Amino acid sequence: MTSEVLIAGGGVGGLVLARRLALAGRPVRVFERADRVGGQVAPIRVAGVDLDAAAESFATRGGVVAALVAELGMADDIVTPSPAPAWLHRSDGTAVPLPSTGILGIPGDPAARDVARVIGRRAAMRARLDLLLPAEVGQDAATLGALVRARMGAGVVDGLVGPVVRGVHSRDADDVPVESAVPGLRARVLAHGSLAAAVASLRAAAPAGSQVAGIRGGMHRLPHALAADAVAAGARIETGRVVEDITADGLTVDGVRARGHVVRAMPDPNREQAGRVLTLVTLVVDAPALDRAPRGTGILVAPDAPGVTARALTHLTAKWSWIADALPGRHAVRLSYDCEPADAATTAARDLGVLLGAPVVEIEDAVAITWRRAERDEAPGMPVVGETAGGTGLAAVVGHAEGVARTLLDASSTSPDAPGRERMEP
């Protein structure tokens, strides 16, 4: 027997599940609050060009997102960013290129010159101790900061990993669990004997040397393609539909109760969300100083850097060639803030000037958008897809949703009642 699955939330997690179930012939219905699907994978129009409002790339680890993109017929549109290094704007106001062999600032080769250039010779010498320590050292560390400190010393955490993790994840390295920051890292330290060798092995495993990739035209093409494929396979996707209450056996949408097999693909509506605030300001500027990409693909900013409130800057037209092609003669940059700046465009233009050491000549367009990140659910009590269960980032969300789809399909092939039949009640 096949019966309808009710999916609350039409972000990438919900859409991956909906598409997979629909392709397997299961009736599926998705309820999405917004007037478009995609959630945090969304377009934003700046200077007439559709850029990404939030997620702009995916981690290539495991190949799970690339495989999905290929299934959706967009394999030829997968693009890799410019290999130019990102930079670090330090607390003394100076900027240095980040070591080229690292992951999240952890050097794959602590003896490399570019490591000593960032953290100093003394700290770099300490980092090399990692190669001599027993592999077990740091295995009991709960956080990335603790692991790196145990193996490579405080200099690597303070000078590299801390600012990089803050720029990428908006969190302190001492608050980020090892496995969510770099899945498999701990096991690789044991297997390869040192943290540096573990990092080097992870980098070698990344396809074509790039740890991230994007989609020409923007990551926001992904949810659209997912939704179109799911609908073509028979799924019903309803936008502008607010789910007010969810239990394992039903949900309430616009005051109407639907009973059935519910999968939550959104944060728990019954739980107060104290998620972090993150504002992205995208500017399209006329700034000849940017023509030679003086800070590579972007800059991560040390927390106490003077005169800057941004935590990171991405030079979009230097990072992605499709954006440079779409904005000839101009530059697009994106600044990230862990707050809602009062006058976002002015603040971003000022920060851009400080980070480049040169003023911006003219701002053609500026768009700010503030996101609130959901927190992880510890005890969901029902099937859940999306980042609250699978972890942050598209690689985690897609891989997890594909796994949940397999589990549900296996269960429905062995049980006549699962997924359960949907029934709408007034």
Residues at the site binding ligand FAD, with contacts judged by CB under 6 A? 8-14, 31-34, 39-41, 54-59, 242-243, 265-266, 269, 278, 280, 371, 373, 386-387, 392-394, 397
Q: Which is nearer to ligand FAD, 27 or 393 (CB)?
A: 393
Question: Where are the alpha helices (H) located in 172-290, listed in sequence order?
Answer: 178-181, 185-192, 195-205, 221-232
Instruction: Report whether 246 contacts 8 (CB < 8 A).
Output: yes
Q: Which is nearer to ligand FAD, 109 or 387 (CB)?
A: 387
Q: Which is nearer to ligand FAD, 154 or 382 (CB)?
A: 382
Q: Which is nearer to ligand FAD, 39 or 99 (CB)?
A: 39
- Find the shortest distance in angstroms from Cβ 133 to ligand FAD: 32
Q: Which is nearer to ligand FAD, 121 or 376 (CB)?
A: 376
- Find the shortest distance in angstroms from Cβ 30 to ligand FAD: 9
Structure tokens that stand for 330 in this block:
């101009």
- Find the shortest distance in angstroms from Cβ 296 to ligand FAD: 17
Instruction: Report whether 301 contacts 310 (CB < 8 A).
Output: yes
Q: Which is nearer to ligand FAD, 138 or 260 (CB)?
A: 260
- Find the shortest distance in angstroms from Cβ 259 to ligand FAD: 17
- Find the shortest distance in angstroms from Cβ 223 to ligand FAD: 8
- Find the shortest distance in angstroms from Cβ 112 to ligand FAD: 27
Least Cα distance to 90 among 288, 301, 349, 235 occurs for: 301
What does the angle CA 203 – CA 204 – CA 210 come to, to the nearest 5 degrees?
Answer: 60
Read off φ and ψ for residue 326, nearest 5 degrees. -80, -15
First to last CA, the chain: 25
Q: Can you state the angle between helices 394-414 and 12-23, rounded to 10 degrees? A: 30
Q: Which is nearer to ligand FAD, 31 or 320 (CB)?
A: 31
Q: Which is nearer to ligand FAD, 139 or 371 (CB)?
A: 371
Q: Where are the beta strands (DSSP E) in 180-328?
A: 212-215, 236-239, 243-247, 250-253, 256-259, 261-264, 277-286, 298-301, 312-315
- Classified as helix, coil or strand, 370 is strand
- Find the shortest distance in angstroms from Cβ 227 to ligand FAD: 11
- Find the shortest distance in angstroms from Cβ 376 to ligand FAD: 11
Q: Which is nearer to ligand FAD, 154 or 369 (CB)?
A: 369
Q: Which residue has the tokens 């040169």?
A: 358
Q: Which is nearer to ligand FAD, 39 or 138 (CB)?
A: 39
Burial of 287 (0-12, 13-18, 19+ CB in 10 A): buried
Q: Which positions ≥6 away from 346 have C-beta within 8 Å?
A: none
Instruction: Report whether 370 contacts 345 (CB < 8 A).
Output: no
| CA distances from residue 118 to 86, 107, 161, 191 in whole angstroms, order as listed | 13, 11, 11, 28
- Find the shortest distance in angstroms from Cβ 298 to ligand FAD: 12
Other Cβ atoms less than 10 A from the Cβ of 380: the count is 15
Least Cα distance to 161 among 109, 111, 149 occurs for: 149
DSSP 422: P
Least Cα distance to 355 among 339, 329, 371, 331 occurs for: 331
- Find the shortest distance in angstroms from Cβ 11 to ligand FAD: 2
